[in-house]
Amino acid sequence: MSNRITAIRGFNDILPPESRVLSHIEYTAIEVFTSYGFSEMRLPVVEKTELFSRTLGETTDIVEKQMYTFSDLSGTPLTLRPEGTAGVVRAYIEHALYTKAPIHRLFYRGPMFRYERPQKGRYRQFYQVGVEVLGDEGPFVDAELMEMLSVILERVGVKGAVFEINSLGCPGCRQPFRQRLGGFLEELKERLCGDCTRRMERNPLRALDCKNPTCRELTTNAPDIYDYICEGCSAHFDGLRAALDGFGVPHRVNHRMVRGLDYYTRTAFEAVVDSPRLGAQNTIAAGGRYDGLVKELGGPQTPCFGFAIGMERVALLVDRSLIGEEPLFYLIPLGTEPQQRAAGLASAMRMAGMRCMMETKRGASLKSAMKRADRLGAAYVLLLGEDEMKERSLTVRNMTDGTQRRLPLDTFIEELRQGLP
RNA sequence: GUGGGCGUAGCUCAGUGGUUAGAGCACUGGACUGUGGCUCCAGGGGUCGGGGGUUCGAAUCCCCUCGCCCACCCCA
């Protein structure tokens, strides 16, 4: 047992029935995305390391210590994608999509990888579905996409999500603010917690997000980004709030919210849920605007907005009773002649869109076959034995209430589909 | 990277120095030879996470190690 090969830390096998929850979220999200005009982009899971180190920021945690980086046999440094946006932008430029339409609405899905210590709602391989709008400067789309996200959450039964929004300004106005904030923190250096003194150099904005009560106290009078952002950014943020009101999306301004990636500009947001089911986590989806990224990667200046949903986190909150399942029909043939006949019947049922399984164990007793049907959660058992064959019929047993009736072989599919007994 | 909790059957766990390590659930079969769930009976299944030590004797005590979970950090 101990020398068996197991999956590696933070890489989980997602088995039924849990896998169904993930599929349900993904399916729902894609359906909603599609209704908002998004199309799928299928992207590689591995990219050149440089793509991430350049776009996410050299000093971000992800780039510094969370990337799965390795060299392939040719010696090229590669990285398992830690997030989706960089790849989308890379592909957008590589295929010159900006020459094909002024605005693109794209979505992606799949696993992301970050080397972190796993805990509830956080894994080394985790799944996201995300969207990106490229070529629209907002702020109306920003709000539209948040509204789209709220629709998805509502459909999968996640209650109590709050949208926290903030403006991070643009490179022009963020720089002075950062400096001013750096100076402010410098003076408090001795009294701030260890984490915050470390944050000061790397990313001073993070200190604003510290949970330590002393730090919170000390930073109550910290400079507010609102006093620094330029007119354009300020108008954009006001526009966003108005648009959110227009869409009826409840939101909360959080001037201290910070994003972990450097490429964000202006709008940043998080969908936050306060629930013990999420463990220490509270963000289930997040995103924002990245108006400078396309240009930085060699494309034309292109304003963009996007977000990603953390599927495992949403899975912790979904209302599982909303995940419906088609009834399962379990076909049990008894004897050689019925067995030969059964394959055709099962095939016809499946063709008609019904979910059907057959007892495949040869010579199994009816009792054990019934037991298997029960365990598989069959809604109905279809019994085909010598008696039935003689009168060209089928015994249908309702596994919930135990009632049975005979239906003719020629018409039973029709009858079952019309009204389930 | 740091801290805490936990590793005994497929799962949930009992057993804290003394025969051959147990229970419930699950699995297979039977009672009930064409009828599941409830009941009863039987059966299969264990390097007690791994290694070392103490002891006449270790699942149990000591040391080391690996793994899982949770939290910090950070994030989806």
Strand order in the sheet with A251-253: A39-40, A104-113, A125-134, A304-310, A283-289, A265-272, A162-167, A251-253
Separation between the CA of A114 and the C1’ of B73 (whole angstroms) = 14
| Crossing angle of the two packed helices A171-188 and A194-202, in degrees rounded to 10 | 150
Which nucleotide lies closest to A119 by the C1' atom and the CA atom?
A: B70
Is the CB of residue A11 less than 8 Å from the CB of residue A127?
no
What CA–CA distance (Å, rounded) separates A288 from A298?
A: 21
Shortest CA to C1' contact from A280: nucleotide: B71
- State residue A24's pLDDT score: 95
Mean pLDDT of chain A: 90
Nucleotides of B under 7 A from a protein CB: 1-3, 10, 26-30, 32-37, 46-47, 49-50, 67-76
A4 three-state secondary structure: coil
CB–CB of A301/A351 below 8 Å? no
Residues 6+ apart with CB under 8 A from A100: none
Nearest protein residue to nucleotide B75 (CA to C1' distance) is A260
Of chain A, the percentage scoring pLDDT greater than 90 comes to 63
Domains and CATH numbers, chain A: 18-170+229-321 (3.30.930.10), 326-415 (3.40.50.800)
Per-residue pLDDT at A2 exceeds 60:
no
What residues does A407 pair with on adjacent strands? A394
Q: CA–C1' distance A185–B35 (Å)? A: 76
- The pTM assigned to this predicted structure is 0.91
The pLDDT value recorded for residue A109 is 97
ipTM: 0.87
CA pair distance A385, A224, nearest whole angstrom: 79
Distance CA A305 to C1' B4 in A = 41
User: Which nt is closest to the CA of A206, judged by C1'?
Assistant: B74
pLDDT at residue A417 tops 60: yes
Nucleotide nearest the Cα atom of A400 (by C1'): B37
Question: What sections of A311-385 are H helices per DSSP?
Answer: 311-315, 336-351, 366-375
